[in-house]
Chain A
Amino acid sequence: MTPELVGGLESPDYASHDRASHEPYTQVFTGDVRRELDELLKRYPNKMAALLPALWIVQRERGWVPEEGMVEVADLLELTPAYVKGVVTFYTMYHQHPVGKYFIQVCTTSPCGICGAEDVVKAFLRHTNAGELGVTSPDKKFTVIEVECLGACGFATPVMVNDEFIESVTPDRVPDILAKLT
């Protein structure tokens, strides 16, 4: 059955998934990581400017940005958790819930759309068994979402898998790409 690709305008990654079930949060900014943040703070004239970089560190260390992470960052940068949450929910790249081991983002904006991006999405959904956009596959390995223009339109269709940027993906390349990951 071909999965439906219509939906609301919210990024599927925002879907309020089951957040209760995650490991207990441990402080991120200790030891070397704390030193990394202190170094970053030197680049800016105030603490608030280090917010986006700090959130990236939390996501790097924990795989997503838990609410406890927002509190930790808020305390360190002298902001309120509500403020930090407002920033986190603005930017689509911060995950607000745990995602699969491989987070797959497929660009479907018009320049790629007219080059068959939708078929690439369908191929990923099929081959990962994720079935639906934004939902992690049963084996917890894959989450597939559509994203807006990735800035590689001449290399349609670009796909990001975690931090890896893969150019010129076509449906027939998908099984190989997935095989190389696992």
Chain B
Amino acid sequence: MAEQKMVNLTIEGRQVSVPEGTTILEAAKTAGVLIPHYCYHPGLPVAGVCRMCLVEVEKAPKLAPSCATTVAEGQVVHVHNEKSLDARKGVLEMLLINHPLDCPICDQSGECELQDYTYQEGRADSRYREPKRFNPAEDFGGDVMYVPNRCILCTRCVRFMDDIAKEPTLNVSERGDRALIGKFEGRDMTHPWAANVIDLCPVGALLSKDFLNKARAWELDRAASICPNCTQGCNVIMETRENQIVRMRPRPNENVNAFFMCDWGRLNYRWMNEKNRVERPMVRDTNALVPTSWEAAITSAARVLNGKKVFVAASPMLSNESLFLLTQLMQDGNGAFRVREGEEAPLAGVKDLALRRERAANVYGAEKLGFKKTTDLLSGLGQGDVLLVAGEDLDGIDASALSRASAVVVINSVLPESAPNAAVVLPIANFSEEEGTVTNLRGRVQRFTQARQAPGETRPSWLVLGDLLGAMGRQTSFFLPSDVFAKLASTHKSFAGLSYDSIGLKGLPVVDAQSNGQNAPVAVGAA
């Protein structure tokens, strides 16, 4: 790769050195200086329309729009000097003159960039004495609602649909201060990635209908996680209020999902709030399952499994850690999983980003660790095997298929209807209630963290499986999921050298990740 020419300049008194062609705004980031802006977004083509990012460059006649101006050797840039502050104050004042100032009823409140910058640098009062422009709110279709009165016309939404989704569904209509975002009658925001405009909107003009009035931004607890709804593994933030997930939003990851996530993934969080949980460990006493202590249940399960050939019916929603421990339980047996499928829906403007056909988080991990993908889940269950059901609810499986099993142990968050004869039931946390790693379709191992408190006496799956193996005399128990992962990494060549520390919150590829997946930064807008 050719030597990249570096340019040296001074921003707010700090020396920076950045590659030629970098904009002043991006260069400022490397110096820890945030230049306030609205229309600029690293995932979208530059527009330069909001005029918020104007900075003073010494010796230049006019203020420069830092998002659209490339650095030059020796430039001296001021971001928080009087001229720049004054210009920003002017932009903020102008943005508020037709604004309804309805923060008390606006969903964006608390995470609104107009609020944030006005509080930091705007006027304390308004000089506007004229009637305000008014347009009614509109349903744009999909999950998107548009409130024109709050719109600052940054055009991020239009540019996203034009250049990233590559389906121009939104436009700027009219002209001057009558302008607003529009769409065509009958052509709605039903594109599979359309709801990203809601995240992109800096203010409360584009809102999620699903999230409408559900929670205030400051009431939310947040956890960094991975979207479990397909094999792409988009990085997300799970946001909860009173232990219920109320929203999922994308987290940027240049190697996986750029800045985006699809609508299917985004809106499919309710299953993690599932209510009909099995909350206590249970063992069979003659005809019924009876709640018992964890120790008793684990001991009972160990007795059922020990020395027998075990068939594991696993779920591709389980973490690498849990799947690894499950393989240790197989004992010459084997395991399989099934995965729901749907239509693939790529995001045209980003390389290698799509809602994938296989709708589960860890298909790659499951296959890598030795589980067979099948459409007939129990076909591998041999006569007389012990059936270990892990993470599966056995929906649609005929109860008679279980008859080949000599015994059934269930390790799941809900009690499968078709396993009434289970010998032991060990209740576990679901994806949102525990910590672990999953591997996406390109072999990228990514960490997810705990977003919700698990109910009742349920425990993380890796902990339960670790204890189970301990009770079977195989090993000492694990205290942390990172320890399980360390064991996994030392056992399986693909995961060699990886650790929670090195994986961090951006993930790392397995050693033998497919080269056509590139595991290189996904080029946004270049596709």
Report A-B touching, CB under 8 Å.
Answer: yes
Contact with B along A70-105 (1 / 0, CB 8 A): 110000000111110110011010000000000000
A selection of 30 A-B contacts at a CB cut-off of 8 Å is A9-B178, A10-B174, A10-B178, A14-B178, A70-B184, A71-B184, A80-B167, A80-B169, A80-B184, A80-B187, A81-B184, A82-B168, A82-B170, A82-B171, A82-B183, A82-B184, A82-B187, A83-B168, A83-B171, A85-B171, A85-B182, A86-B171, A86-B172, A86-B173, A86-B182, A89-B175, A89-B182, A90-B174, A90-B175, A92-B175
Contacts of A86 in B (CB 8 A): 171-173, 182
- CA of A180 to CA of B176, assembled, Å: 37
- CA of A123 to CA of B187, assembled, Å: 43
Check A82 against B182 for contact (C-beta < 8 Å): yes
Contacts of B174 in A (CB 8 A): 10, 14, 89-90
Q: Does B3 contact A (CB under 8 A)?
A: no
Residue of B nearest to A91 (CB): B175
Check A9 against B177 for contact (C-beta < 8 Å): yes
Q: Does A67 contact B (CB under 8 A)?
A: yes
Q: Does B501 contact A (CB under 8 A)?
A: no
Residue of B nearest to A8 (CB): B178
Residue of B nearest to A82 (CB): B184
List 20 additional contacts besides A82-B184, A82-B187; criterion CB under 8 Å: A8-B178, A9-B177, A10-B178, A14-B174, A14-B178, A67-B185, A80-B167, A80-B184, A80-B187, A82-B170, A82-B182, A83-B171, A85-B171, A85-B182, A85-B184, A86-B171, A86-B172, A89-B173, A90-B172, A92-B175
Min CB gap B348→A, angstroms: 14
Name the 9 nearest CB pairs between A and B, nearest first.
Answer: A86-B171, A81-B184, A82-B184, A89-B173, A80-B168, A83-B168, A10-B178, A82-B171, A82-B183
- CA of A14 to CA of B178, assembled, Å: 11
- CA of A10 to CA of B173, assembled, Å: 12
Contacts of A82 in B (CB 8 A): 168-171, 182-184, 187
Contacts of A9 in B (CB 8 A): 176-178
Complex interface residues of chain A between 17 and 69 (CB less than 8 A to chain B): 67
Min CB gap A55→B, angstroms: 14
Contacts of B170 in A (CB 8 A): 82
Interface size class of B (residues with CB under 8 A): 10 to 19
Check B176 against A67 for contact (C-beta < 8 Å): no
Interface centre among A9, A71, A89 (most CB of B within 10 A): A89
Complex interface residues of chain B between 176 and 228 (CB less than 8 A to chain A): 176-178, 182-185, 187
- CA of A80 to CA of B186, assembled, Å: 12
Residue of A nearest to B167 (CB): A80
Interface centre among B169, B171, B174, B185 (most CB of A within 10 A): B171
Contacts of A92 in B (CB 8 A): 175
In the complex, which of the residues B167, B173, B176 contacts A85, with contact meaning CB atoms closer than 8 Å?
B173
Contacts of B177 in A (CB 8 A): 9
Complex interface residues of chain B between 21 and 50 (CB less than 8 A to chain A): none
Residue of A nearest to B175 (CB): A90
Complex interface residues of chain A between 145 and 176 (CB less than 8 A to chain B): none
Interface centre among A8, A79, A82 (most CB of B within 10 A): A82
Contacts of B187 in A (CB 8 A): 80-82
Min CB gap B132→A, angstroms: 12
Contacts of A14 in B (CB 8 A): 174, 178
Min CB gap A141→B, angstroms: 28
Interface centre among A67, A86, A89 (most CB of B within 10 A): A86
Contacts of B167 in A (CB 8 A): 80
Contacts of A83 in B (CB 8 A): 168, 171
- CA of A67 to CA of B173, assembled, Å: 14
In the complex, which of the residues A8, A10, A67, A90 contacts B184, with contact meaning CB atoms closer than 8 Å?
A67
Interface centre among B168, B172, B176 (most CB of A within 10 A): B168
- CA of A80 to CA of B171, assembled, Å: 10
In the complex, which of the residues B168, B169, B185 contacts A79, with contact meaning CB atoms closer than 8 Å?
B168
Contacts of B168 in A (CB 8 A): 79-80, 82-83
Contacts of B178 in A (CB 8 A): 8-10, 14
- CA of A70 to CA of B183, assembled, Å: 12
Complex interface residues of chain B between 156 and 171 (CB less than 8 A to chain A): 167-171
Residue of B nearest to A85 (CB): B184
Min CB gap A13→B, angstroms: 12
Residue of A nearest to B162 (CB): A83
- CA of A86 to CA of B184, assembled, Å: 9
- CA of A29 to CA of B263, assembled, Å: 38
- CA of A82 to CA of B191, assembled, Å: 14
Contacts of A80 in B (CB 8 A): 167-169, 184, 187
Contacts of A70 in B (CB 8 A): 184
Residue of B nearest to A87 (CB): B171
- CA of A80 to CA of B188, assembled, Å: 12
Min CB gap A19→B, angstroms: 10
Min CB gap B312→A, angstroms: 50
Min CB gap B118→A, angstroms: 25
- CA of A82 to CA of B171, assembled, Å: 6
- CA of A4 to CA of B454, assembled, Å: 68
Interface centre among B168, B172, B173, B184 (most CB of A within 10 A): B184
- CA of A49 to CA of B182, assembled, Å: 22
